Amino acid sequence: MKQEAKPFTTGKRKRAVARAWITKGTGIVKVNAAPLETLTNDLVRMKIREPLILAGDATKGFDIHVSVRGGGIMGQADAVRQAITRALISQVPTLKERFMHYDRFMVVYDPRRTEPHKPPRSSQGPRRHKQRSKR
């Protein structure tokens, strides 16, 4: 007998990819199987909590489990934030307008990337030149 797959939503930021599963529950949020409260970085924790705060009481009836990998700490935080937002919108569609008004990148993918470094002076960055003196 084939097991039914739970639907999930994705969130991406740079190299980080997060998948969020939302089910009926009591309002528990777990990131990589750890409760959200146990995350040590305060800024990351606040960034992930933004959609939960904006949604208000709508989140009390759902458990959200997020799996994230790749990228750096803040990229992962943004990916988790986007995955949670999309999961909440899938259950409560009226929240989409509120999220879009607050921050568009909570719902929509952010295509910005860093520019590749250029050959002769690649350690200084993509557009850095040698400093010149006028006098």
Q: Is the residue at 76 inside a domain?
A: yes
Which one is predicted more confidently, 68 or 124?
68
pLDDT confidence of residue 2: 54
The enclosing domain of 26 has a CATH number of 3.30.230.10
User: pLDDT tens, 106-115?
Assistant: 999 989 888 8
Q: Is the residue at 19 inside a domain?
A: yes
Q: Is the residue at 66 inside a domain?
A: yes
Strands of 62-69's sheet in order across: 8-13, 16-24, 62-69, 29-31, 34-35
- Tokens standing for 6? 């739970």
Q: How many domains does the chain have?
A: 1
- The whole-number average pLDDT for the span 56-62 is 87
- The whole-number average pLDDT for the span 77-94 is 93
pLDDT confidence of residue 19: 96
Q: Which of 126, 104, 124, 95 lies closest to 113, judged by CA? A: 126
Q: Is the residue at 132 inside a domain?
A: no
User: pLDDT tens, 96-106?
Assistant: 999 999 999 99
Which long-range contacts link 35-44 to residues 24+ away (Cβ below 8 Å)?
A: 41/73, 43/74, 43/77, 44/73, 44/74, 44/76, 44/77
Q: Is the residue at 93 inside a domain?
A: yes
Q: Is the residue at 2 inside a domain?
A: no
pLDDT confidence of residue 6: 65
Containing domain of residue 18, as a range? 8-104
- Tokens standing for 111? 């295509």
pLDDT confidence of residue 89: 92
pLDDT confidence of residue 128: 76
Q: Is the residue at 112 inside a domain?
A: no
